[in-house]
Structure 1
Amino acid sequence: MIKSELSNIYRDYIACLNRQDWPSLARFVHEDVKHNGEQLGVSGYRRMLERDFAEIPDLSFNVELLVSDPPYIASRLCFNCTPKGKFLGLGVYGRKVSFVENVFYEFRDEKIVQVWSVIDKAAIEAQLPPPGAPSHA
């Protein structure tokens, strides 16, 4: 597969997520998909994403940087969203936060088979009041 083809598949996958088009997810995600080493399968991957959107109703995946080196994609995703409650163990509770996710994908048969994701939790922490400070959400 050439770089531009893989990039186009990835961008279509991101559009699928942003539409929350869960019936189409299997078009992009391999039945044996793993996320950070955990075997999820398509149904587990879908449940993870549905939970993310339930907890963060204004969630939107925005590609800031994309590098294609088939069968791999590296992407820096930007988020500006409002988690309803705790997020990554942090008491966000309806505050708008901005952060990035650096994520690597491995593709097999034009589908995502492996995902390695790191979210910049420190960026979120820096936007929240220090522990013990009065809350003004």
Structure 2
Amino acid sequence: MSVHDSKSDPTKEELRDFYHRYVAAANNRDFDTISSLVNDEVTVNDVPHKREDVVAALKGIADVTPDFTWHIEDLITTGDRIAARLRDTGTPTKEIFGEEPTGASIEITEFAAYRVRDGRFVEMWFLMDVASAVQQLGRK
């Protein structure tokens, strides 16, 4: 069975490999690979989106913070679900979270959860510590 087999849930190892492939693609700005891992229709934080929306959002992060890097701190998989705690780092060069860049780097925590079907994300949720990022940029 592979993560692409819709008849049964992928194994924990298959989901781990799938997620590591996704994060590596994001960190390498490999948007073609990311596109191949996201369903045509995907729910993001309970809002319906198209695959292109997800890719555009990731391109936007890379544009604002060219060295933005996702570091997997914890990864839990079960059934068709993935949960991750990430440490996100980078130095914004454009406005981010409503704040102008200050030259300061940010390091924030992100929690994310996903559902995978037929080898693609069909549901994605994320929560980032924006208040910490704003504080690190030297704003209150």
Quote the residue 2:47 is aligned against. Answer: 38
SS at match of 2:136: coil
Residue 108 of structure 2, aligned match among 93, 99, 117: 99
Cα displacement (A) at 1:38: 2.5
1:27 Cα shift?
2.2
Structure 1 runs (4+) deviating above 6 angstroms are none
Write the distance in 2 (CA, Å) between the matches of 1:59 and 1:125.
15
**Identity rate, percent:** 26
Q: Which moved more, 1:50-59 or 1:91-100?
A: 91-100
SS state at 1:90 partner: coil
SS in 2 for 1:12: helix
Partner of 1:74: 83
* Match in the other structure for 2:98: 89
Deviates more, 1:72-81 or 1:85-94: 85-94
What secondary structure does 2:69 align onto? coil
Task: Give the Cα separation in 1 of the matches to 2:119 and 2:20.
Answer: 13
How many residues are paired up? Answer: 131
Q: State the TM-score, normalized to the length of structure 1.
A: 0.86
- How far is the alpha carbon of 1:97 from its aligned partner? 1.1
In 2, the alpha carbon distance for the partners of 1:50 and 1:125 equals: 21
CA contact (8 A) 1:86 1:93 kept: no
**What's the Cα RMSD here?**
1.6
Q: Distance in 2 between matches of 1:93 and 1:32?
A: 37
Say yes or no: does 1:19 pair with 2:19.
no
Distance in 1 (CA, whole Å) between partners of 2:27 and 2:137 is 26
Q: TM-score, normalised by structure 2?
A: 0.85
Measured in 2, the distance between the counterparts of 1:99 and 1:25 equals: 22
The verdict on how the C-alpha distance between 1:94 and 1:37 changes in structure 2, with shifts beyond 3 A counting, is: farther
Contact 1:32 1:39 survives alignment (8 Å): yes
Query: What 5-or-longer segments of structure 2 have no aligned partner?
Result: 1-9
Match of 1:117 among 121, 126, 139: 126
Shift of 1:60: 1.1
Q: Secondary structure at the match of 1:64?
A: strand
Paired residue secondary structure (1:86): coil
CA distance in 2, matches of 1:40, 1:107: 15
Structure 1 residue identity aligned to 2:13 = S
1:85/1:93 contact within 8 Å kept: no
Cross-structure match for 1:29:
38
